[in-house]
Amino acid sequence: MPESSPHPLNWLAVLSRILVVLPKQAMTYLYLVQHGAAKTESEDPRRPLTDEGRRTVERMADFLSTLELSLDRIEHSEKLRARQTAEILAAHVQPTEGIKEVAGMAPNDDIEPMRLRLQNEAKNVMFIGHLPYLSRLAARLLGLGAERTVVRFQMGGVLRMDRDADARWAVGWLLVPELVAGSIPPKPES
């Protein structure tokens, strides 16, 4: 056998080295977060987070900070409980552009304007919102009917959705508070 033709395994080694330096396919990440548990309207008409709601969001934020997410901005609805959830998360994951209140994300708002906006969104964004809005948005991004339940959101839980270069969305992962509760030791209360 002539020495001029390299062994096939050598080509595999060269190819694997080349693939390591090639840029990865561009992905955009969207994090959908249902706000933490809030007081009832009879307890407080503004419906701020309960103490337990705050603790749940803090634990989730602590865990997310260990993932070193690449996050540009956190957007939240006009409701107090969403803003409080956004503030807690922002303190831990530190989005480069901070937080922003956005109209049109109330529980029963139309999701189509947001779905259309997200098809061209170039930034990695986290939305803090409400049900059924988040559930309907996730379903529509996946190409399904808005009333189709694709994820069972939980208060303080996080769904990551990934959009590829062809503008196709897929579920990246889902974190629910119960999974995170045992992974980070609780902070002592002061």
Question: What single letter denotes the amino acid at residue 98?
Answer: G
Does any domain span residue 143?
yes
Q: Please tell me the predicted confidence (pLDDT) of residue 183.
A: 63
CATH number of the domain that residue 129 is part of: 3.40.50.1240
- Threshold 0.85, pTM exceeds: no
Tens digits of residue pLDDT in 42-57: 999 999 999 999 999 9
Does any domain span residue 186?
no
Q: Which domain range does residue 34 map to? A: 25-181
Q: Please tell me the predicted confidence (pLDDT) of residue 77.
A: 98
Strands (E), the chain: 28-34, 73-76, 99-101, 125-129, 158-163, 169-175
CB 76 within 8 A of CB 82: yes
| DSSP character at residue 108 | T
Does any domain span residue 3?
no
Does any domain span residue 94?
yes
Buried b (16+ CB within 10 A) or exposed e, 150-186: ebebbbbbbbbbebeeeeebeeeebbbbeebeeeeee
Please state the domain count of the chain. Answer: 1
Q: Which residues of the chain have pLDDT under 70?
A: 1-25, 182-190
Question: What single letter denotes the amino acid at residue 80?
Answer: L
Q: Please tell me the predicted confidence (pLDDT) of residue 186.
A: 54
User: What's the angle, vertex CA 80, arms to CA 103 and CA 159, rounded to 5?
Assistant: 70
Length of the chain: 190
The two three-digit tokens of residue 180, written as one number: 């995170």
Tens digits of residue pLDDT in 154-174: 999 999 999 998 999 999 999
Does any domain span residue 13?
no
